[in-house]
């Protein structure tokens, strides 16, 4: 169970090139480089170049001449090669308005949030998407100084916001959250369902880490709060970015405590239903279950316990 686990958003083929962020005329230099590409985001959505039988879908990137430099939000870094961009190709994030979005792609349905459909992207595409969306979400929610309320300004190529009144510098934040596959004495996995979800949608349990709390302590607390269970031996399996809006999901597996009955008590707020699933249950009911999307760490943890890929109703719909 504790072998290495494949996590779809833990991939990247990008040198973040942090030393270049402080260059005063970085955007000017990038604009003059014909190789530079721009990734536009509109309302948290991106465009894709459709894939073929031989090629996976790719993020649709643009030339600098197609995107006004006034929309640039952040410098993302340089491609390390091996994927759709040549080694050393710089990529800039641009957050655009409706007018520019329509000029780039008139069909609004082609602008997509990749929460469920981004698993097919290359390592470069996944890394760019996670970084770009998390940064744009952070900027959208931190445009005023938390101390004095003044409008902040963007510096260091989109990686810092500065308050002009008190010179406070704000840095992009990442909210850590644990997510845990709980396994009982009979090798069954615990799945829960929220009241706002569709019928028969299930996932493993997760929660944000509280101030002053270790990741392992958060696992124990969250499982008690959301399911009424005592768990032991939380084991780290892996982590991946989850830019909705700017979280880091830290994956664990844990065991039901010895002597515990495994009786389930949903918290009634986040979790409405809880159920223990055996591997036989999953095999029998997979085509009727709505499991988390292939991009999620939740799906990866479920399949890690199961031992192979699961084709659920989520993929058949």
Q: What is the DSSP string of 144-158?
A: B-TTT-PBPEEEGGG
Is residue 272 included in any domain, yes or no?
yes
At 61-72, the pLDDT tens digits run 999 999 999 999
Is residue 78 included in any domain, yes or no?
yes
Asked whether residue 253 carries a pLDDT value surpassing 50, the answer given is yes
- Beta-ladder partners of 78: 15, 90
Pair 26, 126 in one domain? yes
Pair 89, 184 in one domain? no
Q: Could you tell me the CATH number of the domain that includes residue 229?
A: 3.90.79.10
Whether residue 13 contacts residue 82, with contact meaning beta carbons closer than 8 Å, is answered with yes
Q: What is the pLDDT of residue 316?
A: 84
Asked whether residue 1 carries a pLDDT value surpassing 50, the answer given is no
**Whole-angstrom distance, CA of residue 228 vs CA of residue 100:** 50
Is residue 274 included in any domain, yes or no?
yes
Q: Among residues 69, 102, 133, which one ends one of the domains?
A: 133
- List the domain range (segments joined by +) for residue 234: 175-316
At 176-221, the pLDDT tens digits run 999 999 999 999 999 999 989 999 999 999 999 999 999 999 999 9
Is residue 1 included in any domain, yes or no?
no
Pair 272, 225 in one domain? yes
Is residue 3 included in any domain, yes or no?
no
Pair 305, 217 in one domain? yes
Pair 180, 312 in one domain? yes
At 275-299, the pLDDT tens digits run 999 999 999 999 999 999 999 999 9
At 85-110, the pLDDT tens digits run 999 999 999 999 999 999 999 999 99
Domain count across the chain: 3
Pair 150, 217 in one domain? no
Pair 189, 70 in one domain? no
At 219-246, the pLDDT tens digits run 999 999 999 999 999 999 999 999 999 9
Please, how many CA atoms are within 13 Å of residue 73, restricted to the half-sphere of its CB?
21
Q: How does 171-198 read in b/e, with b if 16+ C-beta sit within 10 Å?
A: ebeeeebbbbbbbbeeebbbbbbeeeee
Is residue 252 included in any domain, yes or no?
yes
Hunting for tokens 């406070």 — which residue is that?
168
Is residue 8 included in any domain, yes or no?
no
**Whole-angstrom distance, CA of residue 153 vs CA of residue 218:** 35
Whether residue 155 contacts residue 161, with contact meaning beta carbons closer than 8 Å, is answered with yes
Give the distance from CA 177 to its chain's centroid: 11
Pair 23, 112 in one domain? yes
Is residue 9 included in any domain, yes or no?
no
**Whole-angstrom distance, CA of residue 172 vs CA of residue 157:** 12
**Whole-angstrom distance, CA of residue 252 vs CA of residue 156:** 35
Pair 154, 94 in one domain? no
CB atoms closer than 10 angstroms to residue 80: 17
Pair 182, 248 in one domain? yes
Pair 64, 193 in one domain? no
Q: How does 284-312 read in b/e, with b if 16+ C-beta sit within 10 Å?
A: eebeebbbbbbbbbbbbbbbbbbeeebeb
Pair 195, 308 in one domain? yes
């Amino acid at each position: 169970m504790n072998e290495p686990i494949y996590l779809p958003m833990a991939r990247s083929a990008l040198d973040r090139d942090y030393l270049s962020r402080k260059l005063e005329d970085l955007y000017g230099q990038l604009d003059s480089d014909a190789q530079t590409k721009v990734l536009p985001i509109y309302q948290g959505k991106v465009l894709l170049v459709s894939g073929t039988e031989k090629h996976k879908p790719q993020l649709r990137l643009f030339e600098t001449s197609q995107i006004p430099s006034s929309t640039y939000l952040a410098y993302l870094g340089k491609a390390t090669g091996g994927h759709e961009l040549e080694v050393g190709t710089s990529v800039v994030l641009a957050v655009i308005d409706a007018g520019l979005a329509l000029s780039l792609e008139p069909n609004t349905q082609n602008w997509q949030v990749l929460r469920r459909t981004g698993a097919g992207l290359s390592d470069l595409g996944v890394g760019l998407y996670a970084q770009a969306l998390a940064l744009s979400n952070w900027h959208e929610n931190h445009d005023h100084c938390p101390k004095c309320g003044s409008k902040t300004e963007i510096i260091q190529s989109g990686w810092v916001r500065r308050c002009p009144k008190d010179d406070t510098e704000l840095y992009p934040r990442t909210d850590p959250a644990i997510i845990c596959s709980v396994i009982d004495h009979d090798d069954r996995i615990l799945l829960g369902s929220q009241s706002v979800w569709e019928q028969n949608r299930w996932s493993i349990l997760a929660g944000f880490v509280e101030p002053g709390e270790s990741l392992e302590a958060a696992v124990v607390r969250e499982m008690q709060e959301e399911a009424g269970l005592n768990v032991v031996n939380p084991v780290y399996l892996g982590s991946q970015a989850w830019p909705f809006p700017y979280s880091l999901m830290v994956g664990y597996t844990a065991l039901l405590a010895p002597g515990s009955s495994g009786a389930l008590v949903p918290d009634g707020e986040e979790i409405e239903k809880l159920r223990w699933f055996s591997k036989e249950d999953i095999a029998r009911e997979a085509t009727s279950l709505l499991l988390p999307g292939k991009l999620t760490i939740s799906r990866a943890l479920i399949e890690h316990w199961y031992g192979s890929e699961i084709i659920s109703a989520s993929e058949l719909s």
